[in-house]
């Protein structure tokens, strides 16, 4: 288990933040939940060094994600069937084809009596035509209680955003999807950057998706909620408009993909549906020549919980095939027995897929945030996540300040707040910057920076964002099947 970083050097962790900015500003650069109480996601309150066992991940009682070896095998399953457990008892089961079945062949959502969930999973795993069966895990917003200390957006200076803005301030031709709660699409500091669908209803089974979609209640009506609204402001609050705060991208399009409810809870199956919709919209944008769908380049995922889900990993790999990055918060287990995400993986940030970027949180002193999870192998980048000022809804209790139109802004803390520092526009061509701990130093002592260039690891000194953009032209990007992404230069 790692401890809070102690006085990291400027050339170490600050490069982490600089790398994060690059990972952000390269996507758009050239491409023409919490309730008002700000409650943390549900987790053990065990102090560091505690001996309690790690809690079992929560799941939706009665739901099973099952993947058959072929679509034909899945189709042979009647809507109402029985599966047999190890004792020979028949377990009644309803097998449902859902939207993710269009992307992951053979995937189905099965329903059984709540008390039969684990027995049904074991029985399905024993069937020769089943690849896997697993719970429908419940996920939660990665947000910790807020204790404001600063009255400004210190994060932009930490990642050298002003130097990068001399080169580019974003592009309205790129869409970033927020798999989260609902964005306040009427917040005046966000409204000009909210995505509008040129052809709502283009995806089978989805209607009314003008600015995104709520998979919680299967509706195009997006309720304004604070967690997603705060994340959205970091990604793309309108800049240089003499109002409120500035997002990393002054210009971008934000798509609200709501799967977390008002309490900050959601299921794997709805998160997978959101991923599926994003892939379908991106594929439609490509096939229609940009007249339909959306040019989604990245998805921000500021949530976590539950256990490993092969179905979720399959959905993330499907996103990779469409050139969509999956940027995720690394978790808020700092000080708990499961802080080390190499030993206790945090999902979805812990999924091993080429398009996953996992963000830990740092503070205004460039130290690892006390609440942040961290893994030397599983954490990709660090970014500001403590006392982050951003947009919130008009209904939040006790905002930190309110503008003349009643729009609110508040300080939040969490790896949820770190993740959007990297989500905005992670290409023209995404850099393969990585941040890791020096294997020769004690855990938590300091970071070391590295970058992959032509497949080799080498040290890179901290530099301005402008020079970093020039440097990125020589860094390896994604695999060749994603070579359709523009190149910087």
Q: Report, as residue numbers or ranges, the catalytic residues.
A: 180, 227, 416
Q: Are strands 296-301 and 303-304 parallel, antiparallel or unpaired?
A: unpaired
Directed axis angle between helix 13-28 and helix 465-472, to 10°?
60
DSSP string, 57-115: PPEEEEEEEEEESSHHHHHTS-SEEEEE-TTS-EEEEEEE--GGGGTSTTEEEEE--GG
3-class state of residue 320 by DSSP: helix
Look up residue 476 and give its DSSP letter.
Answer: -
Q: What pairing do the DSSP bridges indicate for beta strands 107-111 and 447-453? A: unpaired
d(CA 433, CA 22): 9
Q: Is the Cα dihedral 320, 59, 360, 262 positive or negative?
A: positive
What's the distance, Cα to Cα, between the start and end of the chain in Å?
42
Q: How many angstroms separate the CA atoms of 445 and 439, rounded?
A: 11
- The first and second tokens of residue 145, run together, are 């209680």
Which residues are paired to 479 by β-bridges? none
State how far the Cα of 121 lies from the Cα of 62, in Å rounded to an integer.
10
Residue 348, preceding bond cis, omega within 30 degrees?
yes
- The token pair that represents 339 in the structure block: 């802080």
Alpha-carbon 401 to chain mean position: 27
The 3-class secondary structure across 267-304, one letter per residue, is EHHHHHHHHHHHHHHHHHHHHCCCCCCCCEEEEEECEE
Per the structure block, which two tokens stand in for 27?
A: 């996507």
Tokens coding 368: 């690892």
- Residues 335, 371 contacting (CB under 8 angstroms): yes
Class of residue 61 by CB neighbours under 10 A (exposed 0-12, middle 13-18, buried 19+): middle
d(CA 385, CA 359): 9
Q: Give the Cα separation of 456 and 454 in Å (integer).
A: 6
């Amino acid at each position: 288990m790692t401890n809070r970083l102690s006085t990291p050097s400027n050339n170490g962790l600050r490069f982490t933040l600089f790398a994060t900015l690059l990972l952000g500003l390269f996507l758009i650069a050239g491409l023409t939940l919490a309730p008002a109480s700000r409650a943390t996601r549900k987790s053990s309150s065990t102090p560091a060094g505690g001996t309690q066992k790690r809690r079992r991940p929560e799941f939706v009682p009665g739901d099973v994600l099952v993947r058959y070896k072929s679509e034909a095998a899945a189709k042979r399953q009647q809507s109402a069937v029985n599966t047999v457990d190890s004792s020979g008892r028949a377990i009644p089961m309803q097998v449902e084809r859902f939207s993710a079945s269009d992307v992951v062949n053979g995937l189905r959502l099965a329903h059984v009596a709540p008390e039969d969930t684990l027995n049904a999973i074991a029985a399905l795993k024993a069937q020769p035509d089943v690849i896997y069966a697993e719970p429908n895990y419940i996920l939660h917003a990665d947000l910790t209680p807020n204790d404001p200390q600063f009255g400004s957006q210190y994060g932009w200076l930490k990642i050298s955003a002003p130097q990068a803005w001399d080169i580019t301030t974003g592009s309205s031709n790129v869409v970033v999807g927020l798999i989260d709660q609902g964005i306040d699409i009427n917040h005046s500091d966000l409204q000009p950057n909210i995505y509008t669908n040129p052809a709502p209803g283009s995806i089978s089974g989805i209607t009314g998706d003008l600015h995104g979609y709520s998979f919680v209640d299967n509706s195009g009506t997006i309720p304004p909620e604070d967690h997603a609204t705060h994340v959205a402001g970091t990604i793309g609050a309108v800049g240089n408009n003499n109002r409120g705060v500035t997002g990393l991208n002054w210009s971008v399009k934000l798509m609200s993909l709501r799967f977390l409810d008002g309490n900050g809870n959601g299921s794997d199956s709805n998160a997978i549906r959101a991923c599926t919709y994003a892939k379908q919209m991106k594929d439609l944008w490509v096939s229609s020549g940009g007249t339909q769908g959306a040019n989604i380049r990245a998805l921000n995922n500021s949530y976590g919980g539950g256990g490993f889900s092969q179905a979720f990993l399959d959905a993330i790999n499907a996103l990779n095939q469409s050139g969509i990055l999956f940027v995720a918060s690394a978790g808020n287990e700092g000080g708990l027995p499961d802080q080390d995400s190499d030993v206790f993986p945090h999902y979805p940030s812990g999924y091993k897929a080429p398009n996953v970027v996992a963000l830990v949180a740092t503070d205004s002193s460039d130290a690892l945030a006390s609440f942040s999870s961290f893994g030397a192998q599983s954490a990709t980048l660090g970014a500001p996540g403590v006392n982050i000022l951003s947009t919130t809804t008009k209904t939040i209790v006790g905002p930190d300040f309110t503008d003349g139109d009643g729009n609110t802004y508040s300080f939040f803390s969490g790896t949820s707040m770190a993740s959007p520092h990297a989500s905005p526009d992670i290409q023209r061509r995404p850099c393969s910057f990585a941040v890791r701990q020096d294997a020769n130093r004690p855990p938590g002592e300091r970071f070391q920076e590295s970058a992959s260039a032509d497949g080799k690891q080498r040290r890179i000194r901290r530099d301005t964002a402008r020079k970093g953009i020039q440097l990125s032209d020589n860094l390896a990007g994604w695999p060749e099947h994603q070579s359709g992404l523009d190149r910087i230069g």
